[in-house]
Amino acid sequence: MEKSINRRLLLKLLGAGGALATLRPSLAQTSAQAETPLPSFTGPGPNPYWNGVNPFVVYPQKLPLLRLTDRPVQLETPRHYFRTVFTPNEAFYVRYHLDELPNEIDLSKWRLKLEGNFARQLEFSLEDLITKFKPVSIAAVNQCSGNSRSRFQPRVAGGQWGNGAMGNALWTGVRLMDLLEAAGVKPGTVQIQFEGLDRGKGPENLGSGRFMKSLDWGDPVLEETILAYAMNGEPLPMLNGFPVRLVVPGKFATYWLKHVTWIRALTEEDKNFWMTPAYKVPDTPNGSTTPEDVAAGKVKMVPIGKVNMPVRSFIIDPDGSSPLVVGMPVKVRGIAFSGHGKVVKVEVSTDDGKTWRPALLGPDYGKYSFRTFEFTWRPSAPGTYVIAVRATDEKGNIQPDTPVWNPGGYMWNKIERQEVVVLAAK
């Protein structure tokens, strides 16, 4: 099956017409904007907004998504696209750090380069990657470290994401280790660095105009990491990393480099801005600390690559937009995932977290995928109810009902809630 997917893909990527081989979208296309002003601020207190409060905008190859910023491009996926276990490519969120994005890529010239402390300095075309290496597929959740950052109290700087800076896809590509073995990693290598094609100034005077991330040589995640050329059986959308991106299962998306064009074996630790000081978390069990401890210089910070994504779950339906009716069954549905292993239990509460009952889990697409759940609830009296959901993974990690706080606004995983109104049946 993989073989035929691949032949089809190859045709799509390289074949006649080549519509996708060189995309010529204008990244400046604009959108229909909301006609009435939206509320401007979502906190403090219980947050009624699942997504961030932002206008819809349309970019090439994308459905209308919620715009956080346009330089760099940051687009959030609206809640209803999480009704399916795989997030549609056209609705998949977008996050960049720099403002000059590759707008078209000529695959007759593009080459992936392996350089640095390798026995052989190699170059591969996209066709080489597709045809010379065994394709592998993995379902995995890509989640921004700052997903749900708008919930932080006190608030922290950075994109004020709601819950939609995440997505699940079936990724197909080459095992990173197959590429590294072909080049021959020489002794003395400490990290493998990845760089893409986007450029820009980045934060002032920090030498940050190239987005680069490195994984430790010897980190077990390298065994599962792939360089993906397909997402849900299609070429990657340009804004999600065409022609190839890194998929680092279980790790936050900051390591999932897009448009990967350079892979380097480093003999010294990568100290570029995007490794340090950016993207660091307190070295505490759940990445949490306090503003006071940070101010007092008490907190040891480590790269977020040292941790896996904490367990999370989300209520997708009901979304509170319409009332429920006494005696009428309603399906509470959503998704759950964990970077630590398979989700083994999802529980739903209809009394704001006082009592919990198990939900039915959907199909298992592997431990790094979203897992859907469903719970049938028949409200017996009118009123306002708070539905809550919490997941447990195979390592026994369970979502806390306490908020996370750290200066980067990372690793949020508090139990999610949805308020609903139940009306009397007439």
Residue type at 53 in one-letter notation: V
Residue 6 binds Mo ion, judged by CB under 5 A: no
Stretch binding ligand MTE (CB under 6 A), from 11-19, 87-95, 129-137, 338-346: 87-95
Per CB under 6 A, does 254 bind ligand MTE? yes
x-or-dash pattern for Mo ion, window 75-114, by CB under 5 A?
--------------------x-------------------
Q: Is 370 in the site for ligand MTE (CB under 6 A)?
A: no
Q: Does 82 bind ligand MTE (CB under 6 A)?
A: no
Q: Which residues ranging from 114 to 173 are in contact with ligand MTE (CB under 6 A)? A: 142, 144
Q: Which is nearer to ligand MTE, 6 or 208 (CB)?
A: 208
Q: Is the Cβ of residue 95 or residue 245 nearer to Mo ion in the bound state?
A: 95
Question: Site mask, Mo ion, residues 145-184, x = CB under 5 A?
Answer: x---------------------------------------
State which residue, 214 or 254, has the beta carbon closest to Mo ion. Answer: 254
The answer to whether 392 contacts Mo ion (rule: CB under 5 A) is no
Among 23, 126, 230, 257, binds ligand MTE (CB under 6 A): 257
**In whole angstroms, how close is the CB of 147 to ligand MTE at the nearest point?**
8
Q: Tell me the closest approach of the beta carbon of residue 35 to ligand MTE, in angstroms.
A: 28
CB 94 within 8 A of CB 57: no
Q: Which partner from the list ligand MTE, Mo ion, none does 241 bind, CB cut-off 5 to 8 Å by kind?
A: ligand MTE
144 binds Mo ion (CB under 5 A): yes
Binding mask 222-261 for Mo ion (x = CB under 5 A): --------------------------------x-------
Residue 6 binds: one of ligand MTE, Mo ion, none (C-beta under 5 to 8 A by kind):
none
Q: Report, in Å, the least distance between residue 254 CB and Mo ion.
A: 5
* Footprint of ligand MTE (CB under 6 A): 92-97, 142, 144, 196, 198, 211, 240-241, 253-254, 256-259
* Footprint of Mo ion (CB under 5 A): 95, 144-145, 254
